[in-house]
């Protein structure tokens, strides 16, 4: 995979709409950021939220990266939604070649607690059972795959459960960490390229995400302007948010001014936009 394609997938999946999502969380759950019974101040909590969001999105981004690799290697991607009774199940990876169907549940690292690891394996088995309605035992190859090979917290548990699955369903079911998965599908070179691309990408991204949304005001405005009006109303009516959060996110009022002008333009469509513009005008000129 070209590095530009790899970088584009990660950057879009991890960072795109991160500001929009944060704005919505502040509007819906303001006490998470300004509540008295918290050991962090608003600036630290905002930064923590963005960092946690990026961690979660990183796993989603790698799923897309791997799908891109599978396509480039000549595999056919299959529909990743299947049904088990009335339940709709989402498969992380499902693809095939002329001989086999490959199903992989993919996580970044093996660090689950007892409840999560049990739930994960129950879901894994349920998905295999559903797949066997469409594919034969001989053609199905199943994987529990952890991308980061540095953490193997529950390895013995997974090995035991996968052995039970192999016996009960007569399918191939393997536990993989890091390069092992790519070796089992005969493409170990992909792992080496992945590491090279990741190192380069990490060198290029900022040390810390910026919580000054005015730094790129037009970009922020374009990302958040189409939020539901109720989200903006909740933000603008919350005095504590305006006094404690807005100076951090909008220190120069650049984004707020763009929003105010935008709401004024739309005020002919709906009264709520007129009201939002007036609320922002008071906030900016307070």
- φ, ψ of residue 99 to 5 degrees: the values are -115, -40
Q: What confidence tens digit (pLDDT) does each residue in 66-76 have? A: 999 999 999 99
**The pLDDT of residue 87 is above 90:** no
Q: How confident is the model at residue 208 (pLDDT cuts 50, 70, 90)?
A: confident
Q: In what order do the strands lie in the sheet with 76-77?
A: 76-77, 93-96, 101-107, 140-146, 172-177
Which residues have C-beta within 8 Å of that of residue 153, sequence separation ≥ 6?
110, 111, 112
Q: Which two tokens stand for residue 69?
A: 């690799």
**The pLDDT of residue 101 is above 80:** yes
Contact between residue 96 and residue 77 where contact means Cβ atoms under 8 Å apart: no
Q: What confidence tens digit (pLDDT) does each residue in 214-246 have? A: 999 999 999 999 999 999 999 999 999 999 999
Instruction: State percent of the chain over pLDDT 90.
Output: 76
Q: Residue 265: is it exposed, middle or buried by C-beta count within 10 angstroms (0-12/13-18/19+)?
A: exposed
Which residues have C-beta within 8 Å of that of residue 147, sequence separation ≥ 6?
62, 106, 107, 108, 109, 178
Other CB atoms closer than 10 Å to residue 117's CB: what's the count? 17
Return the pLDDT at 178: 96
The mean predicted confidence, pLDDT, of the chain is: 92
Q: Which domains does the chain have, with CATH numbers?
A: 3-61+208-284 (no CATH), 74-177 (3.40.91.50)
Q: What confidence tens digit (pLDDT) does each residue in 15-28 have? A: 888 899 999 999 99
């Amino acid at each position: 995979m070209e590095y530009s394609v790899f970088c584009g997938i990660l950057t879009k999946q991890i960072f795109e709409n991160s500001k929009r999502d944060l704005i919505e969380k502040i509007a819906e759950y303001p006490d998470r950021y300004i509540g008295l019974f918290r050991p962090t101040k608003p600036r630290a909590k905002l930064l923590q939220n963005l960092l946690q969001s990026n961690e979660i999105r990183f796993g989603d981004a790698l799923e897309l990266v791997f799908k891109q690799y599978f396509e480039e290697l000549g595999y056919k991607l299959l529909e990743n939604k299947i049904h088990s009774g009335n339940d709709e199940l989402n498969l992380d990876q499902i693809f095939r070649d002329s001989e086999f169907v490959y199903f992989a549940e993919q996580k970044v690292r093996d660090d689950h607690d007892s409840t999560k690891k049990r739930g994960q394996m129950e879901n894994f088995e349920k998905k295999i059972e559903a797949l066997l309605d469409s594919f034969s035992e001989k053609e199905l190859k199943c994987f529990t795959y952890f991308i980061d090979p540095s953490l193997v917290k529950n390895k013995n548990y997974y090995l035991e459960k996968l052995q039970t699955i192999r016996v009960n369903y007569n399918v191939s079911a393997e536990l993989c960490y890091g390069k092992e998965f790519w070796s089992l599908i005969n493409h170990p070179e992909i792992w080496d390229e992945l590491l090279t691309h990741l190192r380069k990408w990490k060198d290029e991204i900022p040390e810390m995400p910026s919580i000054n949304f005015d730094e790129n005001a037009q970009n922020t405005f374009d990302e958040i302007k189409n939020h539901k009006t109720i989200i903006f109303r909740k933000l603008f009516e919350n005095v504590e948010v305006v006094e404690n959060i807005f100076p951090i996110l909008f220190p120069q009022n650049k984004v707020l001014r763009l929003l105010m002008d935008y709401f004024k333009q739309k005020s002919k469509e709906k009264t709520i936009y007129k009201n939002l513009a007036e609320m922002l005008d008071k906030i900016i000129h307070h």
